[in-house]
Amino acid sequence: MTAVGPAHREGRGARTVTLHHVQRWRGVEDLPGDWGRCVVTIGVFDGVHKGHQALIAQTVETARQRNLPSVVLTFDPHPTEVVRPGSHPAQLTTLTRKADLIEQLGVDVFAVLPFTPELSRLSPDEFVHRVLVDRLHAATVIVGENFRFGHKAAGTVDTLKILGKRFGFTAHEASLQGRASPEDGEHSEITYSSTYVRSCIDAGDVVAAAEALGRPHRLEGIVVRGEGRGRVLGYPTANLSLPRYAAVPADGVYACWFLRQGHEEERLPAAVSVGTNPTFSGRERTVEAYVLDLDTDLYGQQVALDFVQRLRGQITFETPEQLVREIDEDVVRTRDVLGG
Ligand SMILES: Cc1cc2nc3c(=O)[nH]c(=O)nc-3n(C[C@H](O)[C@H](O)[C@H](O)COP(=O)(O)O)c2cc1C
Ligand SMILES: Nc1ncnc2c1ncn2[C@@H]1O[C@H](COP(=O)(O)OP(=O)(O)O)[C@@H](O)[C@H]1O
């Protein structure tokens, strides 16, 4: 791990937290500006899918070869929301999870730029000058083939290359391709995108989403109170309060892994319902997990669900007894899918 500046910095509203020896920076002021050169990749990286993973791996590898620190520069909130308020796309990963996933890829620095209207108005030239040159001292910039930056998304990889000549860095574009599976050979490359993963999740195809992500899609939330009906039915369900833009799979019933903060070594099978509880004429769309092999109070706990397979759609049953019989079957199917 390359040492890059002090572990903790306090600046005008800027925060730095060091976790697992990886530096996390927030805000332009927080980027040191007084260190050597680096290899940087820039993007939103929502989902950290296989294409992102390949791009970040290339950045880490290039940095190692040149004995420079590797930097992942990302934005929060999603730029689309700032440019067109109300248009935030479904979010595949929270900022914290994104940081965790990216850190696992071996980067030295995870830097977040708050995406403000002011930042969105910087021309490509200004962005490069202020952020990449003045602050980061980029030696090499590696971005995805579809990368756009600066006011009105006017900047492209070619813009970076031209500005690189002027400011003394090199720019490279990396394809966002990943191999479908190692045994499929070299002709099975597919281009991954966050939009594609969102559409899989939206359609309930969590298997295709997992294939593109390289791991199951995860929803994280806090367990809140529901109607108090589940326990009466014999199937108590932990109802998740989710982050605002969370990418929720299509209504239906899913086999998931259930994880709890503070119990990191444990993952339990769960039969999960996504929908409005039409049998009871519910209105609110909820995500509720019946956790197999567990009987404990979960209210207020931070939990996560990894979506492995869709079992069926939501059904409006005529009686609660019919619903319970179907949930009996869902539990059997969940064990079949997840094993154990
Ligand atoms: C595995 C599973 C499958 C479910 N399937 C359906 C369904 O097909 N139709 C439906 O109306 N509700 C379904 N539900 C949701 C129940 O109606 C809901 O869990 C119950 O009303 C308890 O709600 P509460 O947690 O708010 O008390 C399902 C729940 C689980 C755990
Ligand atoms: N195996 C389990 N799966 C899910 N929740 C459980 C389980 N065992 C106990 N619980 C507790 O029961 C609560 C759910 O009971 P339920 O009657 O459905 O109430 P609510 O409508 O408030 O969700 C959960 O929030 C959790 O605290």
Residue 190 binned pLDDT confidence (cut-offs 50, 70, 90): confident
Ligand 1 pocket, mutate which of 327, 330, 333 (most atoms under 8 A from CB)? 327
Query: Separation of 191 CA from ligand 2 center, angstroms?
Result: 41
Per the rule left: phi > 0, alpha: psi between -120 and 50, beta: everything else, 155 is beta
* Closest by CA position to 325, among listed 227, 232, 229, 234: 234
Q: What is the mean pLDDT of the chain?
A: 89
Choice between 102 and 188, residue whose per-residue pLDDT is larger: 102
Q: How far apart are CA 160 and CA 298, in angstroms?
A: 50
Identical fold, 10-179 and 217-338 = no
Q: How far apart are CA 79 and CA 89, in angstroms?
A: 10
In sequence order, the β-bridge partners of residue 143 are: 173
Mean pLDDT of 62-71: 95
Q: What is the second-level CATH architecture of the domain 217-338? A: Beta Barrel (2.40)
The 10s digit of each residue's pLDDT in 119-132 is: 899 999 999 999 99
Q: Which atom of ligand 1 is nearest to the CA of 271?
A: 1
Query: Separation of 312 CA from ligand 1 center, angstroms?
Result: 13
Residue 187 binned pLDDT confidence (cut-offs 50, 70, 90): low
CA dihedral 152, 158, 164, 167 (to 10 degrees): -40
In the β-sheet with 22-26, what is the strand arrangement from edge to edge? 10-11, 14-19, 22-26, 109-114, 70-76, 38-42, 138-144, 170-174
Mean pLDDT of 91-102: 96
Looking at the domain that runs over 10-179, which CATH code has it been given?
Answer: 3.40.50.620
Mean pLDDT of 41-61: 95
Q: Which ligand is nearest to the CA of 276?
A: 1
Residue 20 binned pLDDT confidence (cut-offs 50, 70, 90): very low
pLDDT over 90 percentage in the chain: 76
- pLDDT given at position 7: 32
Query: Separation of 101 CA from ligand 2 center, angstroms?
Result: 30
- Whole-model pTM: value is 0.90
Mean pLDDT of 61-72: 95
The 10s digit of each residue's pLDDT in 285-303 is: 999 999 999 999 999 999 9
From 60-64, 77-81, 143-147, 284-288, the region with the lowest mean pLDDT: 77-81
Write down the domain spans for the chain: 10-179, 217-338
Helix (H, G, I), strand (E, B) or coil at 333: helix
